[in-house]
Amino acid sequence: MTIARCWNCFSPNDIFVLMHKHAGLLILCLVCGLSGAAQTQPTHTSAGEDPAAQAVLSLEHWRESRIPMFLNDFGELNRYRDANAHLRAPAPGEHRIVFYGDSITDGWKLDSYFPGKGYINRGISGQTTPQMLVRFRQDVIDLSPEIVVILAGTNDIAGNTGPMTAEQIEANYASLAELARAHSIRVIFSSVTPIHNYAPQRQTMFLQRSPEKILEINRWLRSYCEKNKLAYLDYYSAMVDDHGMMKENLADDGLHPNEAGYRVMAPLADAAIAKIQAQ
């Protein structure tokens, strides 16, 4: 068997297990495979046509593009530094709410979906919970909110800042909650949202985010919130279809909510906030 055909020995799940352990080796195999494929007539699907292999390369190329940021500003503290400096302290009686998360929060136009509420957006595209821990003081604690709505985890599952186990992701959630509690900030933990691959071009992000792991994280989050008297905001149940995938009409790219997706999420978030404020 030639290296050019080695990809066909693995299932997509096997490839992603290997990706988290030996990503560099997989890339080397792919490069060698493509070279060999140019010299011989393959009898099976080549690595370049394998969606799982493409998902591995897509993630590695994205991570390579982020190396300067990872080295110089891992938490991306610079993103909101100026905005935070110009934000006044909460006025007496003000109920400040911060939405904190990754691209799903970053892309959410809060003023349009929550008019007149003054909710503060502190989402950063691509971020993982380790990065959110780094900037939690600057972008949440120092803003003195009453409540923080945290939506995270999908990029941890994908491995945006490196491979992470469920236990590591869960430990970071717990650290965020403990930091908030120490500063009298009430926490709403949002479920990880589902994902779909109903179009061929949606395969890459889908293969990077195991639906089974999404469910595992969400089960843990719900249990943690119950045990620690925190609010659990269940976007997942409202957005998942009968096949365990994101409803196709709610996310054009399979991952990020479109307008219809945010229309589903907004009243759920409002209800969770109102419930906490009424306690």
Predicted local distance difference test score (pLDDT) of residue 269: 98
* Sheet-wide strand order for 120-123: 120-123, 97-101, 147-151, 186-190, 231-233
What value, to the nearest 5°, has the Cα angle with vertex 214 and ends 212 and 219? Answer: 95
The DSSP secondary-structure symbol of 188 reads: E
| pLDDT tens-digit series, residues 109-159 | 999 999 999 999 999 999 999 999 999 999 999 999 999 999 999 999 999
CA–CA separation, 3 and 19 (whole Å):
17
- pLDDT above 90 (res 27): no
Predicted local distance difference test score (pLDDT) of residue 111: 96
Give, for 136, the enclosing helix (H) or strand (E): helix 129-139
Mean pLDDT over all residues of the chain?
84
Predicted local distance difference test score (pLDDT) of residue 67: 83
Predicted local distance difference test score (pLDDT) of residue 63: 82
Predicted local distance difference test score (pLDDT) of residue 48: 55
183 closest CA partner among 142, 228, 240, 128? 142
**Where along the chain do its domains lie?**
3-65, 74-278
| pLDDT tens-digit series, residues 174-200 | 999 999 999 999 999 999 999 999 877
Is CATH 3.40.50.1110 the classification given to domain 74-278? Answer: yes
Task: Please provide the DSSP assignment of 31-98 as one string.
Answer: HHHHHHHHHS--SS--GGG-HHHHHHHHHHHHHHHTHHHHHH-TT-THHHHHHHHTPPPPPTT---EE
Torsion-angle region of 118 (φ positive above 0: left; ψ -120 to 50: alpha; else: beta): left
Read off the pLDDT of each residue in 80-84 and give the average, rounded to a whole number.
97
82 residue type, one letter: D
CA–CA separation, 37 and 7 (whole Å):
12
